[in-house]
């Protein structure tokens, strides 16, 4: 049955029809001037908590892997078969049968460039956020036989051929001491966002790898209770703010002569005498490699090119480029990768321009895009064009579109490839390009996800739709994405309104917060989450607000919390709540806040502010003190404790413990959290007990930061019960 939506507003309104609801996207300065009204008969059913955990109504990304050539890709079906597709002819053939996966119980695969061999991954066991252990088998497609391969004990091995023996390149690997080819905990989490620290040169002639030395890094220890009579102790080298950081060395090995291992040295004149990190490694050619070194403060980056002279790798001082920030740190989080042009000397890189907006630069001096918006990342650079993602369209920070700039004697004006593609539906887009960018898979993550394989040079488009049938059965909430003036700056919020919303009624409000540096919660992505359940089943309005410190709106907003975490990003959440109350449909006596990780920290700081705005809140895996968190993340935004002692001291949750007497507080943490350690929750708990604060707590034994497995459903069920009690309407 039709659900009718309309907007009472004096200002610009764009109405976007969706199959799950009618969504309003507004831009105005006074949110009290505009509200959404939804009416109609309730023919559809509500979205329940069980629905949230029901994977049958999740959308699936259309998985594909472009392989050698530009018109073919591999796609693994839900039955486990891998098919080879040709985009131009639309022909397909079976590439790998699911029985091959079953032989070794494989869950993932890699294909050799000549397509003769397939590497099958089995026995996947997650370690940290990106890292895992696994067994590998090599399947010979021509002879239909399976061979075994392995990587072992923190050392690098090379197999020259799929059928040859593995050659051991390094010998000094040792757990928690020396790690070769894989990052240690802090590099994996904060610098590489990957479990890999090895990079092949374009032809496979050389392999670059990093040696991480954690010998002098302090360790964190926590108990793993398991099921044995005694718990075991997990030990992880983990540099906290102000402590000794890992030492990283970059080596290159000749794959044809593995005895030739050459070190690439840090430039002495700038970095060798101070603490630093290795940030990115980019092969330009087989004989040229580019490395980004970052000072420990992370406001100074050096991009150094090295050339191979036949015997060693030497710094090319003509190809040395520095990037500095005077107002904060470099990059959104860390420095973005350079993309080298066809001449193998010049490059493109996203960095802050003179106005503080992140744009593509040619080298480090010449911006080729400009304006009060930001380029998010470069997707691909060919000899003819640059492809990248930006939020330029309509100047909305929470949108994403794919753009192209042609390379010739000069750079053309940007052209948007996705802005006009089902614009009402697709306002958050990405692209995955074939080798020469002839074709790309467009991922539309907007109002209702849609995936297609397209070409800008032809009319060939194949679309893959998910969710339509399932989503139509629900009476879904409506999303409001809007903006208001705050400290003379436009800041965005997103609000999920219950079905049949009535502006004349009063609704409870839940603030869903993250608010970490460069975060973004108010965007145009499709959501079917816990907030959907709360709005649909419990009639709770959920809202998120991107205040100062949030990303993709320029450095003025982003760097405003530099060296002062726990201040403006918390204050702005309080200001947003007051704005929401002024809209007239919020019950000011039934307001809650919740967040996970940094969001748990902001939740706790907001509840401890003594504002009187919140009745209750839930903090999952929160930080208590920044001195307890890792050095790379914390010092990027706060500097070292000795250099910023006052703000470290004033930014702790424990210092606000006495103010928790006036709120209901649920504190949740996993005992095996390797990221935000259980120590953080323990310190919050201790401070609350010292102040005689009554609060609720839930610990999840042997669970990490993600609270996965059985804990995931349990934690959301437990939080739902907590909010039902807290936000219950009283007569």
Q: Give the active site residues.
A: 597, 673, 705
Tokens coding 43: 């023919």
Cα dihedral 346, 348, 350, 356, rounded to 10, equals 60
With 0-12 / 13-18 / 19 or more C-beta atoms within 10 angstroms meaning exposed / middle / buried, residue 408 is exposed
d(CA 46, CA 536) in angstroms, rounded, equals 6
With 0-12 / 13-18 / 19 or more C-beta atoms within 10 angstroms meaning exposed / middle / buried, residue 106 is buried
DSSP string, 264-308: EPPPTTTTTTS-EEEEEEEEEETTEEEEEEEETTSSEEEEEEEEE
Parallel, antiparallel or unpaired: strands 664-670 and 429-433 = unpaired
Parallel, antiparallel or unpaired: strands 219-224 and 232-237 = antiparallel
Residues in a beta bridge with 616:
592, 664
Cα separations in angstroms, 282 against 291, 304, 485: 6, 10, 42
The answer to whether the CB of 390 falls within 8 A of the CB of 403 is yes
Parallel, antiparallel or unpaired: strands 206-213 and 178-180 = antiparallel
Sheet holding 22-26, edge to edge: 13-17, 22-26, 478-486, 489-497, 541-545, 507-513, 586-596, 616-620, 664-670, 696-700
d(CA 672, CA 602) in angstroms, rounded, equals 22
The answer to whether the CB of 510 falls within 8 A of the CB of 534 is yes
Parallel, antiparallel or unpaired: strands 117-126 and 106-111 = antiparallel
Consecutive H or E run containing 443: strand 440-444
d(CA 721, CA 696) in angstroms, rounded, equals 12
Q: How many CB atoms lie within 10 A of CB 509?
A: 26
DSSP string, 527-549: --SHHHHHHHHH--EEEEE--TT
Q: What residues have CB less than 8 Å from 674, skipping those under 6 apart?
A: 128, 185, 220, 222, 234, 236, 238, 704, 705
> Whose structure tokens read 């087989």?
286
> Whose structure tokens read 């802050």?
352
The answer to whether the CB of 371 falls within 8 A of the CB of 394 is no
Beta strands in 27-81 (DSSP E): 35-39, 65-66, 72-76
Instruction: Assign residue 343 a region (left: φ > 0; alpha: ψ between -120 and 50; beta: otherwise).
Output: alpha
SS3 415: strand
Parallel, antiparallel or unpaired: strands 65-66 and 507-513 = unpaired
With 0-12 / 13-18 / 19 or more C-beta atoms within 10 angstroms meaning exposed / middle / buried, residue 457 is exposed
Terminal C-alpha separation, the chain: 33
């Amino acid at each position: 049955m039709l659900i009718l939506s309309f907007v009472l507003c004096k200002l610009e309104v764009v109405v976007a029809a969706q199959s799950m609801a009618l969504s309003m996207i507004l831009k105005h300065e006074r949110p009290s001037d505009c509200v959404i009204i939804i009416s109609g008969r309730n023919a559809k059913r509500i979205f329940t908590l069980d629905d949230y955990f029901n994977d049958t109504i999740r959308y699936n990304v259309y998985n594909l892997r472009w392989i050698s050539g530009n018109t073919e890709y591999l796609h693994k079906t839900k039955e486990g078969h891998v098919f080879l597709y040709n985009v131009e002819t639309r022909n397909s053939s079976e590439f790998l049968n699911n029985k091959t996966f079953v032989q070794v119980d494989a869950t993932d695969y890699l294909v050799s460039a000549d397509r003769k061999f397939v590497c099958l991954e089995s026995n996947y066991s997650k370690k940290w956020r990106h890292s895992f252990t696994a067994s590998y088998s090599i399947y010979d497609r021509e002879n239909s036989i399976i061979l075994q391969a392995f990587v072992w004990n923190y050392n690098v091995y090379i197999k020259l051929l799929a059928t040859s023996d593995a050659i051991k390149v390094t010998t000094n690997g040792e757990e928690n001491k020396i790690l070769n080819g894989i990052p240690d905990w802090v590099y994996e989490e904060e610098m590489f966002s990957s479990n890999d620290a090895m990079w092949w040169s374009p032809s496979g002639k050389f392999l670059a790898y990093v040696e991480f030395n954690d010998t002098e890094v302090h360790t964190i220890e926590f108990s793993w209770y398991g099921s044995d009579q005694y718990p075991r102790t997990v030990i992880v080298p983990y540099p906290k703010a102000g402590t000794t950081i890992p030492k990283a060395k970059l080596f290159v090995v000749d794959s044809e002569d593995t005895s030739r291992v050459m070190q690439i040295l840090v430039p002495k004149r700038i970095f060798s005498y101070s603490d630093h990190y290795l940030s990115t490694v980019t092969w330009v050619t087989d004989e040229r490699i580019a490395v980004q070194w970052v000072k420990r403060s992370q406001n100074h980056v050096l991009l150094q090119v090295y050339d191979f002279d036949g015997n060693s790798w030497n710094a090319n001082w003509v190809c040395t480029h520095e990037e500095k920030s005077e107002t904060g740190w470099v990059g959104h989080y860390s420095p973005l990768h350079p993309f080298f042009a066809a001449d193998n000397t010049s490059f493109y890189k996203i960095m802050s321009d003179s106005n503080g907006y992140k744009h593509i630069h040619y080298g480090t001096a010449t911006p080729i895009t400009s304006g009060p918006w930001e380029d998010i990342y470069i997707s691909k650079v060919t000899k003819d064009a640059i492809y990248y993602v930006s939020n330029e369209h309509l100047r909305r920070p929470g949108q994403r579109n794919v753009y192209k700039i042609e390379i010739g004697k000069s750079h053309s004006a940007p052209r948007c490839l996705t802005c006009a593609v089902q614009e009402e539906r697709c306002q958050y887009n990405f692209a995955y390009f074939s080798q020469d960018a002839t074709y790309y898979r467009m991922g539309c993550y907007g109002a209702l996800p849609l995936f297609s394989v397209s070409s800008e040079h032809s009319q060939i488009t194949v679309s893959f739709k998910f969710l339509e049938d399932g989503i139509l059965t629900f009476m879904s909430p409506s999303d409001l994405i809007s903006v208001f003036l705050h400290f003379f700056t436009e800041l965005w919020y997103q609000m999920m309104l219950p079905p049949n919303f009535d502006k004349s009624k009063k609704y409870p409000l839940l603030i869903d917060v993250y608010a970490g540096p460069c975060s973004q919660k108010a965007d145009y992505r499709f959501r079917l989450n816990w907030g959907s359940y709360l709005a649909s089943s419990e009639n709770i309005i959920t809202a998120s607000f991107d205040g100062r410190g949030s990303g993709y709106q320029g450095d003025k907003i982003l760097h405003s919390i530099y060296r002062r975490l726990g201040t403006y990003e918390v204050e702005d959440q309080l200001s947003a709540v007051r704005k929401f109350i002024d809209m007239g449909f919020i019950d000011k006596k039934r307001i809650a806040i919740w967040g996970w990780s940094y969001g748990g920290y902001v939740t706790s700081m907001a509840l401890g502010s003594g504002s009187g705005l919140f009745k209750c809140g839930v903090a999952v895996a929160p930080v208590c003190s920044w001195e307890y968190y890792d050095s790379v993340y914390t010092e990027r935004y706060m500097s070292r404790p000795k250099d910023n002692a006052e703000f470290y001291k004033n930014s702790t949750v424990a210092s606000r413990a006495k103010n928790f007497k006036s709120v209901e507080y649920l504190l949740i943490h996993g005992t095996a959290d390797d990221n935000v350690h259980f120590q953080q929750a323990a310190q919050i708990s201790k401070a609350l007990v010292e102040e005689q604060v009554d609060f609720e707590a839930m610990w999840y034994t042997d669970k990490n930061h993600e609270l996965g497995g059985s804990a995931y459903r349990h934690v959301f069920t437990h939080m739902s019960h907590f909010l039902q009690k807290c936000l219950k309407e009283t007569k």
